[in-house]
Structure 1
């Protein structure tokens, strides 16, 4: 083929892939000819498979871009408050930032939980299986002894890891920019008590955990939707739309009977974590609800994926 000749469609598609996705395809290339993959990912233990999944997930430009976008939010909050004192207007804790920069993290988490976290988690969860199918790597991932159930568990674990990384990114960026632009000191809790940096760090860790737990149900839904299609963009969009729809339904008084069962029902139930003494009942209730969604949609995902034709 001369340089002027057009590339075959398959070559063009490979050239347009993210570098980590091209590496993933190359990593599976030996499977079709019976040769072992260079890294042996599909032949390793569950831990090896999980580690490889996390490495691929967090090496993607898309993942880095989403984490960077989440990091920008607390920066924008801090800069906006620095320019003009909001007083008592705006989200919770916003008016407290001028007196204590540590409140930037709390404000940013409050802003991100209903919109930006579901958006990014929906993208990651929707891509879990559909992304592999669209790249043609799914069949190689399922080479024995990987197994379909283990692959689903690893994909779900990857989504959970992203949830934790997203919350940690928001919290750390908020604390750093808050300390740079505002004074810091003991944090006044909702109960009226004050805690030092150690007490604040414990509560921020619990808040990050709470946010990650809140996204478990959405992650399971995204995983299930991802098994239904080979088009990752469609699975991502459907997951994000469902996140928005759940919040809209939660605001309609006519549907009050279903409010406790929506996966978004406890997204803002973290106020008890900001009191003294610590009250963890809201975290437990949220975890119980989310695990219910994980059980239901995880089972549906396995039921669909166990019969999915990955060779066509």
Structure 2
């Protein structure tokens, strides 16, 4: 075989086989597209505003020097904010996790495929050598990055507001032990990562819904509707046997990271449940998308 034939064959294989660097470029382009949308910026802006509102409300309420009582878990982190501004990070994450954070993720995930189909750009994306599986994985990777970005926006905003309005320093865990401010920051980062991981189930569910329709609005509304439905089911005592299987049931287990020693049981259940939802709905999304008739 001549060198020209060899080069021609190599070029043909290269055009069919996506290279790893090309795949990274695809992910980069998807992230750029996602985070440049006004909708994405608006969602991040709303999330950043929640800690500001919580911090100002606590500051006004305790302006006379009083402090609200309560424990230290979940939303009750609010009672500790006046003593240490770092607790605003935990309180803000507890306030946004039940609805605001998953709603934002549901909007982004629901629009991932359906939005492209509705805009007529999905067909052109599939012309590229990435293939449907690689494109779907790229979409999910972008949603996962948004999960992390949204969580960090809440945490950083809360830390900045907490530092401005309240004192910082060593803090007391839920168990009553003292830890240094540096260790508190480390736990805050770990909590933010756990919260971001807690959204992966919603992300996979939204991506699956996005493959079922060509309307981005319908996919976003359906995903948010399912989120609200699951939250309601999780509050009905008569359905207690179902609760451990709902993706939102263990969300607030991140508070156990503020115990000494850390209680890992519910944390591991939460992460395992999110992995299961990601696997099930990710597989369903792949099965649907690979067989989807894309005509627009």
Q: What's the counterpart of residue 150 of structure 1?
A: 134
Q: Is the contact between residue 53 and residue 155 of structure 1 (CA under 8 Å) also seen in structure 2?
A: yes
Q: What's the counterpart of residue 61 of structure 2?
A: 84
1:82-134 deviations in whole A, cap 9, x for unaligned?
11126127931112111111111111111000010111011001001001111
TM-score, length-scaled by structure 2: 0.87
In 2, Cα distance between the equivalents of 1:74 and 1:257?
34
Superposition deviation, residue 43 in structure 1:
11
In 2, Cα distance between the equivalents of 1:129 and 1:291?
21
Where do 1:131-280 residues align within 5 Å? 131-280=115-264
1:185-237 deviations in whole A, cap 9, x for unaligned?
11211111122222112111111111111111111110000001111111111
Which ranges in structure 2 are unaligned for 5 or more consecutive residues? 1-17
Q: What's the counterpart of residue 309 of structure 1?
A: 293
In 2, Cα distance between the equivalents of 1:95 and 1:269?
18
User: What is the aligned-residue RMSD (CA, Å)?
Assistant: 1.9
In 2, Cα distance between the equivalents of 1:197 and 1:183?
11
1:150-184 deviations in whole A, cap 9, x for unaligned?
11111111111111111101111111111111111
Which ranges in structure 1 are unaligned for 5 or more consecutive residues? 1-40
Q: What's the counterpart of residue 89 of structure 2?
A: 105
Partner SS for 1:87: coil
Q: What's the counterpart of residue 47 of structure 1?
A: 24
In 1, Cα distance between the equivalents of 2:55 and 2:26?
40
Partner SS for 1:192: coil
Alignment partner for residue 42 of structure 2, among 65, 69, 73? 65
Partner SS for 2:182: helix
In 2, Cα distance between the equivalents of 1:66 and 1:301?
25
Q: What's the counterpart of residue 13 of structure 1?
A: none
Between Structure 1 and Structure 2, how many residues are aligned?
Answer: 272
Q: Is the contact between residue 91 and residue 107 of structure 1 (CA under 8 Å) also seen in structure 2?
A: yes
Q: Is the contact between residue 115 and residue 214 of structure 2 (CA under 8 Å) also seen in structure 1?
A: yes
Q: Is the contact between residue 118 and residue 218 of structure 1 (CA under 8 Å) also seen in structure 2?
A: yes
Partner SS for 2:242: helix
The higher-RCO structure (CA 8 Å, 6+ apart) is: 2
In 2, Cα distance between the equivalents of 1:197 and 1:280?
22
Partner SS for 1:191: coil
In 2, Cα distance between the equivalents of 1:107 and 1:308?
43
**Greater helix fraction, Structure 1 or Structure 2:** 2
